[in-house]
Amino acid sequence: MGIEMRKNSIKNTRINGEVQRELSRLICREIKDPRINPMTSVVTVEVAPDLKHAKVYISVLGDAQSQKSTLEGLKSAASYMRGQLAKSVNLRNTPELTFILDQSIEHGVNISRLIHEVNKDLDNGAETEGDADFRTDKEDAGKEDGEETADAQNSEGTADKDEY
């Protein structure tokens, strides 16, 4: 009967970080498989509490074919990486590695690009409309000030009524 480690414990978090660092080092420096894209990064690692399995989330900067071939290259090198992990990280069990393609970084880049395009379109639209927007804003601001003073007078009047 061994000590069971909880999934979000400090020890598990530390193990996840250590395995992630070591796998990142192995992928960048030691694995020479031409299928693996040089712009591959380990986003996160989730080691199971029993230390027998690890989900390795990777991000590959490139097209779908490059991502697919990188995933194949990593799967074929998984046993080598597991052996190197056993030598460098002192764990009771060395986890079996499962590589999962993480699209979150690519998704974030696409969202940033879309936001940039919208902002650029808004800036271009503001430059072409020019002074007409400025006058309208001033006129609206004048009306709002007048409405606010009327509201303020009404609220003062009701406050006087409540006091009596």
Q: Quick one: what percent of the chain has pLDDT higher than 90?
A: 54
Q: Locate 21 and state its tokens.
A: 């660092």
Residue 5 is predicted with a pLDDT of: 56
Maximum Cα interatomic distance, the chain, rounded to a whole number of Å: 87
- pLDDT confidence bin for 107, thresholds 50/70/90: confident
Number of domains in the chain: 2
Residue 41 is predicted with a pLDDT of: 92
* Rg value, the chain, Cα: 29
CA distance 45 to 19: 7
Beta-carbon count within 10 A of 57 CB: 18
List 98's β-bridge partners, or say none.
55
Strands 53-60, 40-47: pairing kind: antiparallel
- Same domain for 16 and 91, yes or no, is yes
Q: Locate 122 and state its tokens.
A: 């808004």
Among 110, 111, 98, smallest CA distance to 44 is for: 98
Residue 79 lies in a domain: yes
pLDDT tens per residue across span 31-87:
999 999 999 999 999 999 999 999 999 999 888 999 999 999 999 999 999 999 999
Of residues 162 and 78, the one with the higher pLDDT is: 78
Residue 127 is predicted with a pLDDT of: 64
Can you give the CATH number for the domain in which 20 is found?
Answer: 3.30.300.20
Of 19-28, 127-136, 148-157, the one with minimum mean pLDDT is 148-157
List 41's β-bridge partners, or say none.
59
- Same domain for 99 and 129, yes or no, is no
Residue 164 is predicted with a pLDDT of: 46
CA distance 101 to 68: 9
Look at residue 3 and tell me whether its pLDDT is greater than 50. Answer: no
Can you give the residue range of the structural domain that contains 86? 10-103
- Same domain for 85 and 68, yes or no, is yes
CA distance 103 to 18: 23
Q: What are phi and psi of 95, to 5 degrees?
A: -70, 150
- pLDDT confidence bin for 106, thresholds 50/70/90: confident
Residue 2 lies in a domain: no
